[in-house]
Amino acid sequence: MSQHLSDAPRSAAAPAADAGHRDWWRDAVIYQVYPRSFADGNGDGMGDLPGVTARLPYLRDLGVDAVWLSPFYASPQADAGYDVADYREVDPMFGDLNDADDLVRTAHALNLRVIVDLVPNHCSDQHEWFKQALRDGPGSALRERFHFRPGKGAGGELPPNDWESIFGGPAWTRTTDPDGTPGEWYLHLFAPEQPDFNWDHPAVHDEFRSVLRFWLDLGTDGFRIDVAHGLVKAAGLPDIGHSEQLSLLGSAPMPYFDQDGVHEIYRGWRRILDEYPGDRIGVAEAWTPTIERAALYLRPDELHQAFNFEYLGTPWDAAALRRVIDKSLAAMGAVGAPATWVLSNHDVTRHTTRFGNPSSALPGGASTGGSLQLREAGDRELGLRRARAATLLMLALPGSAYLYQGEELGLPDVTDLPDEVRQDPSFFRAAGQDGFRDGCRVPIPWSGAEPPYGFGPAGGPSWLPQPATWAELSVEAQTGDPASTLELYRAALALRRELPALGAGRSVQWLDTPEGVLAFRRDGDGDGFLCLVNLTATPVVLTVPGGRPLLASSAQPPATAGPSDQVDGIDVTIAADTAIWWAI
């Protein structure tokens, strides 16, 4: 399948950015670990922190700079840990604080940085504050830390406003008063088990400043901030007036998202991050209506990065990709922030599967709103081929890239999970936005011929069943096979470290190309780099000004395989749905 077109070093021997490297995040590759599904150290079927720690050398060798861990805090797991009951405790299913400490220390010893998830929009209904608020009843001080309201209607039987939960159904749940009678309602933008904090309350601010310090003191290098655009709600919690609210990624302004008041919170957090040595960062999960609105979170006194969800939602289409790339670079450049790129995460269908479906099957991109979930397996071979090309495109762009665990193995989404094993809370709420997120959360295969494929001890369980076909996708099966997706990632990440042209601050110059083809140049100090991507279904020929091939996402016609140093005007044939990295 793939062909490494040069003898460029492929080992990832190069260490991660050294600990003192300022601005390390500006061109970092950050790998998302979903702790439930990465590695199970104790054999209970659920991934855990010791499992992650044991596998950190794999990530160092893969060649990433940092790890972002999805939540591992004390939680009843109503939303896979995004419902936090105690922000300063590790859930026993994942280990304890000593394990977190070990993980951070081990990562640092391997020159990997560690970013943890912070969930400030809502907590768990099992959080002490919320339990106490329920016990204390209407008018109590603790209730002011959440959004409690009397209902509408004669008996308060209707929700206080018309907001809908992202997971489906009303965004309000009615409580029962201590005396057993129906009482007030509380706001939850997500599941009922995830009450929203009231960020107008100073105690909420104080608490999160303290939580930030807790994890910074433990040595973490920063935070991925969950639902960063949701903390502040429009004053008076006004009705929306229609019911097309269900998308996280919509283009219409909503009174519960992207309110200007959030920025003051992040200015305060930035001051705390800056008090600590070593360039600690904040990354916004902000599903804003436009990339320009996302850039506001990255003004010099706010956060460092924001996920580029518009890029994630862009179909396999040259013109659309070029548009979103240009727009992202311009918007982020305007505030002095690096652009970021991401193709997959724990909330969306893996890109191998998205790209194997007709792009019309992707319900909406960032601009139109809508879910990024798909239920069809699609054309696996086509999807993987495009996914590999998409990875080389992404890793050649200026800025920081996010990888989601398992994408380096080319894992598809598991689209045929039986309903009875599903845990995604939105699956159980009719008309919810997502519902099928478990498909990208299946534990990843490491080795062996049978489940759990080294995820945990042989013969042990896994919290979601792994497909019978995953033996050939395991780390063990792919290691050393130059045609494998894993070796493609290793080679690409090693080159990315080596080539000055791919570093931070090096711009992109587009070259003229036929329709369906993207080509851009980046220049280092005296070295030039080309990324050539054919997004069409037939081979195309591009003429490049000499140089030599470095890496290709799929096998190339023999005519282009030979390195041709110093020859001017080489015709390069690029196979269908293929990206080539080229040195000049």
Site for ligand GLC in 270-289 (CB under 6 A): 285
Which residues lie across from 182 on neighbouring strands? 176
Token readout for 450 is 């049978």
| 193 annotated active-site | no
193 belongs to the binding site for ligand GLC (CB under 6 A): no
Contact call for residues 303 and 47 (beta carbons, < 8 A): no
Q: What are the φ and ψ backbone dihedral angles of 30, each rounded to 5 degrees?
A: -115, 125
Minimal CA–CA distance to 353: which of 231, 436, 460, 461?
Answer: 436
Percentages of the chain per state (helix, strand, coil), in multiples of 5: 30, 15, 55
Site for ligand GLC in 60-119 (CB under 6 A): 79, 82, 119
438 belongs to the binding site for ligand GLC (CB under 6 A): no
| Count of Cβ atoms closer than 10 Å to residue 418 Cβ | 7
Site for ligand GLC in 221-260 (CB under 6 A): 226-227
Number of residues that bind ligand GLC (CB under 6 A): 9
Pick one of 125, 302, 347, 407: the residue that binds ligand GLC (CB under 6 A): 347
**Total residues found in the chain within this entry:** 584
Question: Could you tell me the smallest distance in angstroms from the CB atom of residue 309 to ligand GLC?
Answer: 10
Pick one of 24, 190, 223, 341: the residue that binds ligand GLC (CB under 6 A): 190
Site for ligand GLC in 472-511 (CB under 6 A): none
Cβ-closest position to ligand GLC: 82
Nearer to ligand GLC, 193 or 221 (CB): 193
Q: Which is the catalytic residue, given 128, 177, 206, 275?
A: 275
455 Rama class: left (phi>0) / alpha (psi -120 to 50) / beta: alpha
Q: What letter would DSSP give residue 72?
A: -
Question: Could you tell me the smallest distance in angstroms from the CB atom of residue 79 to ligand GLC?
Answer: 5
Nearer to ligand GLC, 6 or 77 (CB): 77
Rg (CA), the chain: 24
Nearer to ligand GLC, 226 or 302 (CB): 226
Question: Could you tell me the smallest distance in angstroms from the CB atom of residue 195 to ligand GLC?
Answer: 12
Question: Could you tell me the smallest distance in angstroms from the CB atom of residue 354 to ligand GLC?
Answer: 17
- Residue 220 CB contacts under 8 Å (≥ 6 apart), including other chains: 104, 114, 115, 116, 280
Question: Could you tell me the smallest distance in angstroms from the CB atom of residue 464 to ligand GLC?
Answer: 15
358-to-242, 365, 377, 533, 539 alpha-carbon distances in Å: 31, 13, 11, 19, 20
Cα–Cα distance measured from residue 445 to residue 455, given in angstroms and rounded to the nearest whole number:
6
Nearer to ligand GLC, 27 or 196 (CB): 196
Nearer to ligand GLC, 121 or 314 (CB): 121
Q: Which is the catalytic residue, given 83, 164, 184, 226?
A: 226
Three-state DSSP class for 495?
helix
Nearer to ligand GLC, 193 or 279 (CB): 193
| 275 annotated active-site | yes
Question: Could you tell me the smallest distance in angstroms from the CB atom of residue 475 to ligand GLC?
Answer: 25
Q: What letter would DSSP give residue 265?
A: H
CB-count exposure of residue 454 (10 Å: 0-12, 13-18, 19+): buried
Catalytic positions: 226, 275
Q: Which residues bind ligand GLC (CB under 6 A)?
A: 79, 82, 119, 190, 226-227, 285, 346-347
